[in-house]
């Protein structure tokens, strides 16, 4: 009864009154949520258009852009800015924007762009490949290694980049062997969970961790001490549990193809990446991570990296991938 009375009082107050401004901003928010839920339809439509008519490449890219989850709310900020400016004035809107902190979003764009470059992706993929062969070349050993090393790798090169490598390896080592539906869907679900928690091993790989590290003033060791070792134990436990749970499914897998394939084979014509280029990329990545809280420094360093990327474009993905990996 007390809660009902409080709720009625809140709804009757001026704070909860349905003003035109609040109605419009609510509609914009609902539109952004709806857009988020429909994002995958834009991606599918973009692929269909690209297959049917290559002359509509620009339209296909625009529709694909609308399906990018990361930019959905950024797009709907545009009508929100217009509404705020109409009701409260351009000056107040600019003052509000200037009062916000944009270190995290800029850092996320920069570090994911660095992590998804060809030298970093090749190095990470080869690392997982070597560890996988060390534990045996069977499908079950590959399954366990990919789902264990992958999330830990994601704490260094970001979740999205590590998940891309893991998904490619799973496709070539597990899904080509025609797994059962239980193993196929169970592996996908397990991958999403383990990679999500793997991001809190460090204070920079996941956007929430990056935000909290600034609010709490936590560094890398603080995060690893509080969450990291627990996350590693959790990943190992859940993978061991499902490893034994899927034993029958592993036995039903068809024989793995003999031909060894690269982690990223679509660019094999470019040849191996020189070691010195990989080391420079690792240096830029480490420097950016260490300067995660200093926007002018890591953004300025990124501009230098763009020049290096252009100079070594014969060993890079062309153009630089600003989409999620």
CA 104 to chain centre: 14
Dihedral of alpha carbons 108, 113, 114, 117, sign: positive
Distance CA 56, CA 169 (A): 32
What is the model's pTM? 0.69
Q: Which DSSP symbol is given to 219?
A: -
Q: What share of the chain is helix, strand, coil (3-state, %, to 5)?
A: 80, 0, 20
Strands (DSSP E) found in 98-227: none
DSSP states of 221-273: HHHIIIIIHHHHHHHHHHHHHHHHHTHHHHHTSPPPPSS---SS-TTGGG-PP
Distance CA 48, CA 16 (A): 45
Distance CA 215, CA 63 (A): 36
Q: CA triplet 111, 114, 119: central angle to 5 degrees? A: 150
Tens digit of each residue's pLDDT, the chain (325 residues):
444 555 456 545 555 567 889 899 999 999 999 999 998 899 889 888 888 877 778 888 888 888 888 788 889 999 999 999 999 999 999 998 898 888 878 887 887 788 778 898 788 778 877 887 777 777 888 899 889 988 888 887 777 677 877 887 888 788 888 889 999 999 999 998 898 888 788 777 677 777 777 778 787 788 888 888 888 999 999 999 999 999 998 888 876 554 444 444 555 556 788 999 999 999 998 898 788 778 999 999 999 999 999 999 888 876 665 555 4
pLDDT at site 320: 65
pLDDT at site 176: 84
Distance CA 301, CA 295 (A): 10
Distance CA 120, CA 130 (A): 15
Under a CB-based contact definition with an 8 Å cutoff, are residues 135 and 172 in contact? no
Residues 6+ apart with CB under 8 A from 262: 125, 268
Distance CA 320, CA 298 (A): 17
Strands (DSSP E) found in the chain: none
pLDDT at site 251: 87
């Amino acid at each position: 009864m007390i809660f009902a009375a409080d709720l009625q009082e809140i709804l009757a107050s001026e704070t909860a009154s349905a003003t035109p401004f609040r109605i419009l901003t609510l509609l914009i928010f609902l539109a952004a949520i709806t857009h988020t839920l429909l994002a995958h339809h834009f991606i599918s439509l973009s692929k269909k258009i690209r297959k049917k008519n290559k002359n509509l490449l620009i339209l296909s890219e625009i529709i694909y852009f609308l399906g990018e989850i990361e930019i959905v709310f950024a797009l709907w900020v545009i009508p929100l800015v217009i509404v705020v400016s109409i009701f409260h004035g351009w000056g107040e809107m600019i003052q509000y924007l200037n009062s916000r902190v944009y270190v995290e979003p800029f850092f996320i764009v920069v570090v994911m762009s660095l992590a998804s470059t060809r030298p970093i992706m090749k190095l990470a993929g080869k690392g997982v490949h070597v560890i996988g062969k060390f534990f045996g070349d069977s499908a079950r050993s590959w399954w366990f290694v990919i789902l264990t090393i992958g999330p830990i790798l994601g704490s260094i090169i970001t979740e999205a980049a590590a998940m891309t490598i893991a998904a490619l390896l799973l496709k070539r080592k597990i899904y080509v062997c025609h797994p059962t539906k239980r193993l196929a869907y169970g592996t996908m679900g397990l991958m999403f969970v383990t990679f999500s928690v793997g991001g809190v091993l460090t204070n920079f790989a996941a956007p929430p961790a990056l935000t909290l590290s600034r609010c709490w003033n936590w560094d890398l060791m603080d995060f690893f001490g509080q969450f990291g070792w627990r996350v590693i134990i959790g990943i190992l436990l859940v993978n061991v549990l499902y490893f034994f749970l899927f034993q029958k499914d592993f036995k039903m897998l068809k024989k793995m193809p003999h031909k060894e394939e690269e982690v990223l084979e679509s660019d094999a014509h470019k040849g191996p990446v020189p070691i010195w280029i990989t080391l420079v990329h690792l240096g830029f990545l480490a420097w950016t991570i260490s300067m995660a809280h200093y926007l002018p420094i890591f953004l300025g360093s990124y501009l230098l990296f763009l020049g290096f990327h252009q100079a070594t474009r014969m060993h890079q993905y062309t153009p630089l991938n600003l989409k999620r990996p």
